[in-house]
């Protein structure tokens, strides 16, 4: 067999290196594409937004902690069924969003909003009506409030506003699974399926106030 000259051996070696590099690059690109497709498939859909409505506080109350059933300086407690409401704020890829500001406001037992110009009676002045919580390192938040009630043709709901660095603020409403929502003018203007994505189930809580309930809701920021 004739010997291969050094120039030809060098050319063949370079060709083998180039071929291996091309194959490796093709494999990397394929894995990257597969990872991207998988990420898109597992990405969470952002929580639907809802109108802020006319009852966001005009002035924030002095007491604006996450316990809405007890107003600082008042001996009485709010009327209604106590609700322990908690959840998480996450990004679309599921990562927790720590340090988010979660605002909650809602009507009292009589369907009256506080700090928003709703001066009708009866009203429960022992209900704070508005509170703020900040998410922890795992994106968790928690409120103590009351089960929302229906009023003025609207189904029971909680108002939420979530603000986080690097993301537009999200304003939405959370409904109670099993409550009637047909005929609601806000939901009538929302895309199909919105109420299902904005509803949470309530369960009894043992060892708390008699009849207390708990509900959990995940908020996905875009």
Residue whose structure tokens are 């407690």: 77
Query: pTM surpassing 0.75?
Result: yes
Domain boundaries, the chain: 1-42, 82-220
Q: Identify the CA nearest to 71 among candidates 144, 115, 127, 142.
A: 127
- Per-residue model confidence as pLDDT tens digits over 76-108: 999 999 999 999 999 999 999 999 999 999 999
Burial zone of 71 (CB within 10 Å; 0-12 exposed, 13-18 middle, 19+ buried): buried
Q: What is the 3-state secondary structure (H, E, C) of the chain?
A: CCCCCHHHHHHHHHHHHHHHHHHHHHHHHHHHHHHHHHHHHHCCCCCCCCCCCCCCCCCCCCCCCCECCCCCCCCCCCCCCEEEEEEEEECCCCCECCCCEEEEECCCCCCCCCCCCCCCCCCCCCCCCEEEEECCCCCEEEEEEECCCCECCECCEEEEEEEECCEEEEEEEEEECCCCCCCCHHHHCCCCCHHHHCEECEEECCCCCCCCEEEEEEEECC
Per residue in 118-155, pLDDT (tens digit) is: 888 999 999 999 999 999 999 999 999 999 999 999 99
How far does Cα 27 stand from its chain's mean position? 38
Take residue 122 and report the two structure tokens written for it: 């009866």
> Which phi and psi angles does 31 have, rounded to 5°?
-65, -40
Q: What is the per-residue burial (b if ≥16 Cβ within 10 Å, else e) of 112-137?
A: bbbbbebeeeebbebbbbbbbbebee
Contact present, 176 and 48 (Cβ < 8 Å):
no
| Beta carbons of 202 and 212 less than 8 angstroms apart | no
CATH class of 82-220: mainly beta
Sorted by sequence, the CB contacts under 8 Å of residue 24 that are 6+ apart come out as: none
> Tens digit of pLDDT for each residue in 148-178?
999 999 999 999 999 999 889 999 999 999 9
Sign of CA dihedral 163, 110, 78, 197: negative
Which pLDDT value is given to residue 14? 63
Confidence of residue 4 (pLDDT cuts 50, 70, 90): low
Cβ-contact 184, 150 below 8 angstroms: no
CA–CA gap between residue 89 and residue 94 (Å, rounded): 9
Confidence of residue 23 (pLDDT cuts 50, 70, 90): low
pLDDT exceeds 60 at position 18 = no
């Amino acid at each position: 067999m004739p010997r291969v000259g050094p120039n030809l051996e060098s050319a063949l070696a370079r060709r083998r290196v180039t071929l291996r590099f091309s194959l490796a690059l093709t494999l990397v690109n394929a894995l990257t594409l597969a990872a991207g497709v998988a990420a898109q498939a597992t990405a969470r859909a952002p929580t639907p937004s809802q109108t802020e409505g006319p009852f966001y506080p005009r002035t924030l109350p002095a007491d604006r902690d996450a316990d809405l059933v007890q107003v600082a300086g008042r001996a009485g407690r709010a009327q209604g069924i106590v609700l322990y409401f908690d959840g998480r704020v996450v990004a679309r890829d599921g990562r927790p969003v720590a340090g988010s500001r979660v605002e909650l406001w809602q009507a009292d037992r009589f369907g009256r909003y506080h700090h928003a110009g709703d001066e009708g009676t009866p009203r429960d002045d022992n209900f704070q009506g508005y509170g703020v919580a900040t998410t922890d390192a795992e994106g968790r938040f928690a409120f103590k409030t009351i089960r929302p009630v229906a009023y003025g043709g609207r189904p029971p709901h909680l108002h939420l506003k979530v603000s986080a660095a690097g993301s537009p603020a999200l304003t939405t409403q959370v409904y109670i699974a099993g409550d009637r929502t047909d005929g609601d003018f806000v939901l009538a203007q929302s895309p199909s399926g919105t109420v299902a994505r904005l509803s949470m189930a309530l369960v009894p809580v043992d060892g708390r106030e008699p009849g207390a309930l708990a509900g959990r809701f995940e908020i996905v920021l875009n």
